[in-house]
Amino acid sequence: MIDLSELRNQIDDIDRQIVELYEKRMAVSSQVAEYKIETGKKVFDKEREDSKLETLKGLTHNDFNSHGIEELFQQIMSMSRKLQYQLLTKKGVVGRLPFTQVEHLEKKNVRVVFQGVEGAYSQAAMKAFFGDEITSFHVKQWRDALGAISEGMADFAVLPIENSTAGFVSEIYDLLMKYDDYIVGEQTIRIEHKLLGCPGAKLEDIRSVYSHEQGLMQCEQYLNRHRNWTQTALENTAASAKKVAQDQDKSQAAIASAIAGEAFGLEVLDENICENDVNSTRFIIVSNQRIFEKDAKKISICFELPHHSGSLYNILSHFIYNNLNMSKIESRPLPGRNWEYRFFVDFEGNLNDSAVKNAIRGITEEAANMKILGNY
């Protein structure tokens, strides 16, 4: 019988050779980076890498090894690219990203737009972030808010991006791609939904309930106990309260905040209608300026990927290699392209950090339509 310790010794010897050859390969990659710096060539050459992989696979003797060699050299090539990106960053080739650093955002005497009507949660988020020394106005739809800052009617817009119960607000992600606007801040507020009705209405009178679709989702378990109620989604929770107040129909109720109820003269018919005791919504502060605060700690980006095995893994490896903590990832389908997606990623960092510049350089070259959505 073959001695196990001897076999392990052989593996150890082979591994030492692999490490030695790997370091030799990285040294040559450094020289390649120097050449590309001098000539201005891009680091990622997909055609060259695909051709190389096919050649290497042809050197193996069975399908298992062929697949293994492909995976192994994909990783080696990926590490080689990351080394080259790092050297480019050190040489200053990456340069400054197209964002301007500011000490602090101006929060006084600015114009701020929010979606909804008086009493909307967006208004509460706006006041929590900016305070009262501002000029504010509201619009009916989220796209109208982004349009207002794009056209210079407002300096900032406040938009919901994620709820701890119902998840992300998909339409906001799509709109961030349509407008040349950028995230410059965020504000999280506690969401405390109430069932609101006309004065004198009772719970047993209710036949129809109105709210924003997110509000209906956040109170799904409660609404499931009242299956005879018709549910209708409106543009936001406060608008739902306004409708119930205007109609003065005791069979109608709205899911909205107590502030909205007070604003429109409604009574609270039921409290604690959201099963999540810590239900919160994160709002983003958006500007048409590419700016970020000096102490900004979160970056949001998006990019598109083909429907290929390992494509997302290869992109996410840039965060691992540069020791960047990714805190969130979402995906949205690309219109007109089945099974291809746009990915939205949040990670910790500042645009001045060399590790961030290194990762962004790699993702920009290897993914399609990479966009920095903001640093805040």
In whole angstroms, how far apart are CA 115 and each of 141, 176, 217? 6, 15, 19
In contact, 345 and 326? CB cutoff 8 Å: yes
283 labelled catalytic: yes
Farthest-apart Cα atoms in the chain, separation: 90
In contact, 290 and 182? CB cutoff 8 Å: yes
Cα–Cα distance measured from residue 211 to residue 235, given in angstroms and rounded to the nearest whole number: 8
Cα–Cα distance measured from residue 242 to residue 261, given in angstroms and rounded to the nearest whole number: 9
Cα–Cα distance measured from residue 141 to residue 147, given in angstroms and rounded to the nearest whole number: 10
281 labelled catalytic: yes
Catalytic pick from 99, 283, 343, 344?
283
Cα–Cα distance measured from residue 277 to residue 221, given in angstroms and rounded to the nearest whole number: 13
> In the structure encoding, which two tokens stand for residue 84, read together?
């080259």
Q: CA geometry: angle at 210 spanning 208 and 211, to 5°?
A: 155
Closest CA to 348 of 319, 318, 371, 368: 319
Q: Which residues of 112-131 are buried (b: 16+ CB within 10 A; e: fewer)?
A: bbbbbbebbbbbbbbbebbe
Q: Which residues of 68-98 are buried (b: 16+ CB within 10 A; e: fewer)?
A: ebbeebeebbbbbbbbbbbbbbeeeebeebe
* Residue 374, Ramachandran bin (φ over 0: left; ψ between -120 and 50: alpha; else beta): left
Output DSSP code: residue 100: E
Q: For residue 192, how far is the Cα from the chain centroid?
A: 25
Query: Residue 180: phi, psi to the nearest 5?
Result: -90, 60
- Active site positions, annotated: 281, 283
